[in-house]
Amino acid sequence: MSRPHRGDATLPSFLVTFIFLQLLPAGNGKSDFCVLGPPDPLLALVGQDKELPCKLSPNISAEGMELRWYRDQPSPAVHVHKDGEDVYEEQMEDYRGRTTFVGSHMVRGEVAVRIRNVTVSDNGTYHCVFKEHTSHSQATLWLKVAGLGSSPRIHVTGTQDKSIRAECTSSGWFPEPKVEWLDLRGEPVPAETHFSASASTGLFAVVSTVTPQDRAVEGLTCSISNPLLPEKKVAETYLPAALFRRPPSTERGPALPLILTALGLVTAAIACAFGRSHKEDKSEEEEAETGTSAEAEPSHASLSLDPETGSPKLMVSEDRKSVKRLLFDQDLSPSSKRFDQDPCILAQERFDAGRHYWEVEVGGRRAWILGVCLESLGREGRIPKSPQHGLWALEFYKKKLQALSYPRTRLSPPQPLWRVGIFLDFEAGEISFHNAADGSQIYVFSGLSFSGPLQPFFCLWTHDPRPLTICSVVREAEEDTESSGGPDLPGDSR
Ligand SMILES: *[C@@H]1O[C@H](CO)[C@@H](O)[C@H](O)[C@H]1NC(C)=O
Ligand SMILES: *[C@@H]1O[C@H](CO)[C@@H](O)[C@H](O)[C@H]1NC(C)=O
Ligand SMILES: *[C@@H]1O[C@H](CO)[C@@H](O)[C@H](O)[C@H]1NC(C)=O
């Protein structure tokens, strides 16, 4: 890192001037004053404007004084204001055309100089000196310049030996930022990071690479932060399936048996994982053929997400059972069916009669909306989320659960929700939400009448990489012991 050090060559002259100023007889009894600057360093973002304020104590008028802001030496200065006018003859090249004197509170001794379009070379120490006749006093100010860089981009490549290499790049940082890679479980991934400073702007560019050895890594986030600023810039990538393929026949976890007593369902196994769609079709058929229980049994809706309705902020899995939030909008063909602003999506299924039940795994996701909407719900801009507009839903946001009723209803289920069951009874005009772990009801919208077909509705607020996943129902008779389920306990939601 090579930063221009303006003062080095002229240090002796600076000292001489400084000593000269110190030796001036201070205060001839007429107007004894002292100059104060901000006690703490000022923070300015690259490209912004920043004022460097100084004031007199006591708060006498600064009119008629010579006011000078300078860096290493009093001349040339950052800005000089003398006899009520700005004086540019003594101004440093770097500040030409970039400074404005702010004198609206001059009568009470408060003045400032505004620097426009702050750059990296403005970082450092400043002095302001006030001079009247033979009296003078000065204060020191510190300006910390911070550059918040561009959103990082991740580029993934496969190598010959089948390992993966991901490279994260970003520029526009000052000072050197902190770079951190995490996998989707939040575990740090070791990385090799290089910084380079731009010769013209002094801003840092970052190139950081990882080659994860762990084959279980399904995705990565690269997050870059400035030590002076609270925000982080984050990019996320899902590793290509072709390079990190799981064995296709592997069942990811056992099926989850569940007794939905509240709904009067027979024992069913519900799996929220990928790769079960082939099984699911078969079980649907079986269900239709056997037709075990009477008319009371609602149909297990086997939903598929409709990517054509999905916001460009969302990515739907190949089997259309799962949806994730992206950090960048995808380039997608425009469609009047698509949510163009809210990160929402619908399922393909339309219900205009009957009773339907489905479950969605929300897992540890920090924010979501699940529910049912009229097919005619608007898709453009921010969607009004309430029953008057044809949406009946639950929202989890900032650790709070609420029904999107009008007015809103705060809910506090006894246990955190891992999987949510949604039950629609079209004829009865009822939509209820359940904790799928035990079937207990969380909220019900009732006494409804629907003006048209309904569709399952999902939104994924916040940049949380965890997906929402529709659970497939794998029917399983109670006496069926040879099935993959094993001795899982009902209610064990993980
Ligand atoms: C300046 O000082 C006077 C008293 O000398 C006081 O009345 C006034 O409020 C002060 N103004 C400010 C802005 O501090
Ligand atoms: C701000 O400064 C940068 C770098 O010196 C320059 O490229 C840019 O044009 C300036 N912007 C404005 C608005 O003056
Ligand atoms: C920027 O200025 C601050 C305050 O004067 C100083 O502490 C810091 O070391 C400077 N940073 C760089 C990179 O020069």
Which CATH number fits the domain that encloses residue 433? 2.60.120.920
Does some domain include residue 96? yes
In angstroms, what is the span from residue 41 Cα to ligand 3's centroid?
Answer: 9
In angstroms, what is the span from residue 55 Cα to ligand 1's centroid?
Answer: 12
Q: What is the pLDDT of residues 104-161, one digit of tens each?
A: 999 999 999 999 999 999 999 999 999 998 899 999 999 999 999 999 999 887 666 6
Most ligand 1 atoms within 8 A of CB, residue of 55, 57, 59 to mutate: 59
- Among 146, 176, 193, the domain-final residue is 146
Q: What is the pLDDT, as a whole number, of residue 193?
A: 97
Does some domain include residue 204? yes
The CATH number of residue 117's host domain is 2.60.40.10
In angstroms, what is the span from residue 380 Cα to ligand 1's centroid?
Answer: 55
Which positions ≥6 away from 76 have C-beta within 8 Å? 70, 90, 91, 92, 93
- Among 126, 146, 166, the domain-final residue is 146
In angstroms, what is the span from residue 122 Cα to ligand 2's centroid?
Answer: 13
Q: What is the pLDDT, as a whole number, of residue 134?
A: 87
Instruction: Report which of residues 157 and 359 the model is more confident about.
Output: 359
Interval 14-42 mean pLDDT = 62
**Same domain flag for 430 and 331:** yes
Answer whether 96 contacts ligand 1 (Cβ < 6 A): no
**Same domain flag for 118 and 172:** no
β-bridge pairing 468-470 and 34-36: unpaired
With a cut of 70, say whether residue 401 has pLDDT above it.
yes
**Same domain flag for 163 and 138:** no
Q: What is the pLDDT, as a whole number, of residue 494?
A: 32
Atom number of ligand 1 nearest to Cα 105: 13
With a cut of 90, say whether residue 351 has pLDDT above it.
yes
Q: What is the pLDDT, as a whole number, of residue 167?
A: 93
Q: Nearest bound ligand to CA 142?
A: 3
**Same domain flag for 231 and 373:** no
Does some domain include residue 21? no
With a cut of 70, say whether residue 330 has pLDDT above it.
yes
- Total domain count, the chain: 3
Q: In angstroms, rounded to a whole number, what is the distance separating the alpha carbons of residues 189 and 101? A: 50
Q: What is the pLDDT of residues 164-223, one digit of tens each?
A: 889 999 999 999 999 999 987 888 999 999 999 999 999 999 999 998 877 667 788 999
**Same domain flag for 113 and 225:** no
Q: What is the pLDDT, as a whole number, of residue 159?
A: 63
Does some domain include residue 283? no
Q: What is the pLDDT, as a whole number, of residue 164?
A: 81
Does some domain include residue 130? yes
| Most confident by average pLDDT, 40-44, 337-341, 398-402, 468-472 | 40-44
**Same domain flag for 134 and 196:** no
Q: What is the pLDDT, as a whole number, of residue 473?
A: 57
Q: In angstroms, rounded to a whole number, what is the distance separating the alpha carbons of residues 313 and 91? A: 50
Compute the C-alpha angle 299/303/307, nearest 5°: 160
**Same domain flag for 77 and 174:** no
**Same domain flag for 370 and 424:** yes
In angstroms, what is the span from residue 131 Cα to ligand 1's centroid?
Answer: 21
Does some domain include residue 7? no
Percent above pLDDT 90 for the chain:
55
Domain span at residue 375 reads: 299-484
Answer whether 108 contacts ligand 1 (Cβ < 6 A): yes
**Same domain flag for 443 and 309:** yes
Q: What is the pLDDT of residues 264-303, one digit of tens each?
A: 232 233 555 433 333 333 333 333 333 333 334 466 778 9
Interval 15-36 mean pLDDT = 53
Does some domain include residue 267? no
Instruction: Report which of residues 260 and 417 the model is more confident about.
Output: 417
Mean per-residue pLDDT of the chain: 79
- Note the pTM of the prediction, 2 decimals: 0.50
Does some domain include residue 179? yes
Atom number of ligand 3 nearest to Cα 41: 4
Q: In angstroms, rounded to a whole number, what is the distance separating the alpha carbons of residues 173 and 404? A: 41
**Same domain flag for 451 and 352:** yes
Interval 339-356 mean pLDDT = 93
Pocket around ligand 3 at a 6 A CB cut-off: 3, 41, 123-125, 142, 144, 175
In angstroms, what is the span from residue 145 Cα to ligand 2's centroid?
Answer: 15
- Among 242, 270, 285, the domain-final residue is 242
**Same domain flag for 82 and 39:** yes
**Same domain flag for 187 and 312:** no
